[in-house]
């Protein structure tokens, strides 16, 4: 089992010390379909929990990505700009999006582990 | 809620793992695995699609030729029995009621119309008919399969057990396969060589399985609507409801080649006028110069020279927007805080809205973002720089000739 945590809007978070890596879940990429465009914030930008920090576009539609946590962006996966298909191929690995310095780790209290998230997705897709 | 119609092949699609989508009241496969992959693979080998939602309307009876010749924009005298022709139904104002294929069956004609327009066209045809003309909507009892791609002829040769060297594009044959009738035309909507196969709905699964079976040796892939949309955009083909509708005329739509003025037809007067006076807008293709996906109804802008006013205020010609957070990838932010970008010859260059996007996609065969749209005629020449406004930012693009991807016919 991975050490990723998930929220209800299908983002995942991986905590590394006082930082967190953020991406979208395998379920989310599957729902979006072929991803052809990714737009991410620049390093230094402050993002706040629940607000949009970027855009992914699949052939079907454009979707905003919502910040699961508040904090300052310290790294962005700019390789995705030229390789947006990585979000489809490896959403929880090569398809990571940003790394932030976590402001308030309490925001993670309601996150689900992988098992709980899978149950949540199964229920939602019924 | 209205129940969605399904084609006879619905079970085949779900078994193949298709993601289904509502398309004008039909439940159809959007993609099986990946529309991008399907569109790419079709251009390398071949692909099979269920397009049974299309409408088939047969016209027969005494005077069928004269009746139809009066309603379509193209000249039916140019197709003999066994040939098909791209055509348009126009309204009195010269607007496009539908685009269609007309098959010359000899005594009868078959009109293949868009799924979204079946009822509309059927009612419209009936308005003009006399008692001797019979108009039959065969859409329910007819299924349509599209076998497309450079290797599709090998699959078809294998099915029919004969060489097809004499089977020319825009021609059709009528064959029985194991006593099941099929009308097969060498035609399609992908820009590649290919076949469109009209069969009785009760035989749809038989033909589907046969094609899948014979196609396995040639790398045949299933292609959903997503792949078909990519392929037709790459080929520069218009889609009803996107590039063409009752408010666009064929001259604007760059479909003047499908209008013949040496005959009479409904809507002709307006087309003659449009040709004489010129049109204000034109359908164009454009290639994005920055990464950005153009979608239907996005606005198209261009930089135009303007004599500087005493003071730039309000920026009426520039969209005013809140400054979005800066982003890594392309696109420039059209806000008035940015200084008037360029000054040339005493006039300021300002962004002016010149049109709108009608279709756009990422092209997996070109690895570029491409689109179609209407722009005012002054900006319709190839290589003209334009900008597409995507989520409050401008992305550079340029006008290009059709097709985006060269057909291999």
- Tell me, what's the pLDDT at B161? 96
pLDDT at res. A1 = 52
CB atoms A38 and B292 under 8 Å: no
Give the chain B residue nearest A29 (alpha carbons): B34
pLDDT tens profile B179-209 = 999 999 999 999 999 999 999 999 999 999 9
A36 with B35: Cβ contact below 8 A: no
- DSSP-assigned beta bridge partners for residue B364: none
Q: Which CATH number fits domain A5-104: 3.90.550.10, 3.40.50.300, 3.40.50.720, 2.40.50.100?
A: 2.40.50.100
Report the pLDDT value the prediction gives residue B305, as an integer from 0 to 100: 82
* Partner B contacted by A48 (CB < 8 A): no
Instruction: Provide the pLDDT for residue B322.
Output: 43
> Using the beta-carbon criterion (under 8 Å), do B326 and A41 form an inter-chain contact?
yes
Is the CB of A62 less than 8 angstroms away from the CB of B329?
A: no
Q: Would you call A36 an interface residue with chain B, using a CB distance cutoff of 8 Å?
A: yes
Of the candidates B52, B404, B338, B4, the one whose C-alpha atom is nearest the C-alpha of residue B198 is: B52
Position B227 confidence tier, pLDDT thresholds 50, 70, 90: very high
Across the interface, which of B36, B291, B292 has its CB nearest the CB of A59?
A: B36
**Which of B41, B86, B45, B31 shows the shortest CA–CA distance to B250?**
B86
pLDDT in tens, A67-83: 999 999 999 999 999 99
**Element housing B394 (H / E):** strand B393-400
- Measured in degrees and rounded to the nearest 5, phi and psi for residue B93 equal -90, 5
Identify the pLDDT of residue B307. Answer: 67
A72 close contact with B: CB closer than 8 A:
no
Position B231 scores a pLDDT of 98
Q: Do B362 and A40 touch (CB under 8 A)?
A: no
CA distance B166 to chain A (A): 39
pLDDT band per the 50, 70, 90 thresholds, residue B318: very low
Quick one: which of B383, B381, B408 has its CA closest to B397?
A: B383
- Check whether B99 has a pLDDT greater than 50: yes
Residue-wise pLDDT tens digits, B276-300: 999 999 999 999 999 999 999 999 9
A34 close contact with B: CB closer than 8 A: yes
pLDDT reported for residue B342: 53
Q: Which residues pair with A20 in a beta bridge?
A: A15, A100
- pLDDT at residue B346 is higher than 70: no
In whole angstroms, give the CA distance from residue B316 to residue A34.
Answer: 38
Q: What is the pLDDT of residues A15-36, one digit of tens each?
A: 999 999 999 999 999 999 999 9
> In angstroms, rounded to a whole number, what is the distance separating the alpha carbons of residues B324 and A51?
13
Q: Give the nearest chain A residue to B369 (CA atoms).
A: A36
* A71 lies within 8 A of chain B by CB: no
pLDDT higher than threshold 90 for residue B325: no
Contacts of B291 in chain A (CB under 8 A): 37, 81
pLDDT at B319 over 50: no
Residues of chain A contacting B19 with CB distance shorter than 8 Å:
33
Q: How many angstroms separate the CA of residue A82 from the nearest CA in chain B?
A: 9
Residue of B nearest to A34 (CA): B34
Do the Cβ atoms of A39 and B329 come within 8 Å?
A: yes
pLDDT value at residue B277: 95
Q: What is the complex's ipTM, to 2 decimals?
A: 0.88
Q: What are phi and psi of A32, to 5 degrees?
A: -70, -35
Q: Is the predicted pLDDT of residue B311 greater than 80, yes or no?
A: no
Query: Which residues from B are below 8 Å from A45, CB to CB?
Result: 325-326
Name the helix (H) or strand (E) containing A36: strand A35-39
- For residue B3, CA distances in Å to B53, B120, B202, B303 come to 15, 20, 21, 48
Nearest CA in chain A to B31: A33
The predicted-structure confidence for B10-23, as pLDDT tens digits, reads as follows: 999 999 999 999 99
**Structural domains present in chain B:** 5-54+140-234 (3.30.1360.120), 55-137 (3.30.70.1400), 280-400 (2.40.30.110)
Comparing B348 with A117, the larger pLDDT belongs to A117
Q: Where are the domains of chain A?
A: 5-104
Q: Which residues of B touch A81 (CB under 8 A)?
A: 291, 328-329
Distance CA B396, CA B402 (A): 19
Of B30, B327, B369, the CB nearest to A42: B327
CB contact under 8 A, A78 and B35: no
Q: What local confidence, expressed as pLDDT, does residue A110 receive? A: 87
**C-beta atoms of B361 and A59 within 8 A:** yes
Q: Do B328 and A42 make contact, defined as CB atoms within 8 angstroms?
A: yes
Phi, psi of B20 (to 5 degrees): -95, 155
Binary contact (A41, B36; C-beta < 8 A):
no
SS3 B115: helix
- For residue B1, the model assigns a pLDDT of 53
Read off the pLDDT of each residue in B233-240 and give the average, rounded to a whole number: 98
Query: Rounded to the nearest 5°, which phi and psi values hold at B389?
Result: -90, 115
How much is the average pLDDT of B235-243? 97
In degrees rounded to 5, what are phi and psi of residue B62? -65, 130
pLDDT, averaged across chain A: 94
């Amino acid at each position: 089992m991975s050490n990723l945590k998930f929220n209800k809007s299908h983002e995942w978070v991986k905590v590394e010390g006082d930082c967190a890596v953020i991406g979208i879940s395998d379920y989310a990429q599957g729902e979006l379909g072929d991803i052809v465009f990714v737009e991410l914030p620049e390093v230094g930008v402050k993002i706040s929990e629940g607000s949009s920090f970027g855009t992914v576009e699949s052939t079907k539609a454009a979707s905003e990505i919502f910040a699961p946590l508040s904090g300052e962006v310290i790294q962005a996966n700019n390789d995705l700009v030229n390789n947006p298909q990585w979000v489809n191929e490896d959403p929880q690995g090569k398809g990571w999006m940003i790394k932030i310095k976590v402001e308030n780790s309490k925001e993670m209290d309601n996150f689900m582990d992988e098992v709980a998230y899978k149950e949540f997705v199964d229920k939602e897709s019924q | 809620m209205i129940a969605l119609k399904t084609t006879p092949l619905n079970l085949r699609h779900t078994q193949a793992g298709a993601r289904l989508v509502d398309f004008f009241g039909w439940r159809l496969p959007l993609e099986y695995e990946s529309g991008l992959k399907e569109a790419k693979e079709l251009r390398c080998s071949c692909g099979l699609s269920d397009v049974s939602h299309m409408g088939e309307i047969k016209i027969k009876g005494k005077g069928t030729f004269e009746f139809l010749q009066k309603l379509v924009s193209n000249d039916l005298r140019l197709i003999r029995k066994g040939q098909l022709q791209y055509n348009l139904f126009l309204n009195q104002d010269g607007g496009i009621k539908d685009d269609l294929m007309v098959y010359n069956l000899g005594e009868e004609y078959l009109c293949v119309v868009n799924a979204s327009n079946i009822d509309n066209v059927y009612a419209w045809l009936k308005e003009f008919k006399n008692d001797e003309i019979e108009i039959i909507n065969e859409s329910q009892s007819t299924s349509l399969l599209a076998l497309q791609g450079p290797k599709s002829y090998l699959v078809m040769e294998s099915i029919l057990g004969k060489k097809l060297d004499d089977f020319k594009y825009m021609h059709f044959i009528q064959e029985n396969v194991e006593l099941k009738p099929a009308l097969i035309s060498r035609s399609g909507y992908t820009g590649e060589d290919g076949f469109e196969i009209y069969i009785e709905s009760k035989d749809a699964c038989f033909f589907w399985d046969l094609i899948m079976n014979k196609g396995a040796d040639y790398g045949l892939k299933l292609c959903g609507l997503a792949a078909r949309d990519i392929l037709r955009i790459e080929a520069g083909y218009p889609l009803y409801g996107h590039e063409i509708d009752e408010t666009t005329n064929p001259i604007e739509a760059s479909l003047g080649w499908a209008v013949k003025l040496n005959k009479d037809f409904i809507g002709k007067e307006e087309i003659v006028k449009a040709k004489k006076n010129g049109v204000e807008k034109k359908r164009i293709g454009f290639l994005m110069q920055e990464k950005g996906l153009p979608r239907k109804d996005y606005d198209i802008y261009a930089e135009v020279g303007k004599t500087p006013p005493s003071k730039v205020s309000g920026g009426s010609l520039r969209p005013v927007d809140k400054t979005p957070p800066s982003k890594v990838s392309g696109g420039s932010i059209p806000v008035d805080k940015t200084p008037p970008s360029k000054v040339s010859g005493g006039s300021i260059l300002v962004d002016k809205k010149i049109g709108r996007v009608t279709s756009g996609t990422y092209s997996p065969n070109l690895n570029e973002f491409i689109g179609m749209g209407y722009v005012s005629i002054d900006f319709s020449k190839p290589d003209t720089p334009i900008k597409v406004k995507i989520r409050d930012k401008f992305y550079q693009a340029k006008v290009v000739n059709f097709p985006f991807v060269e057909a291999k016919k």
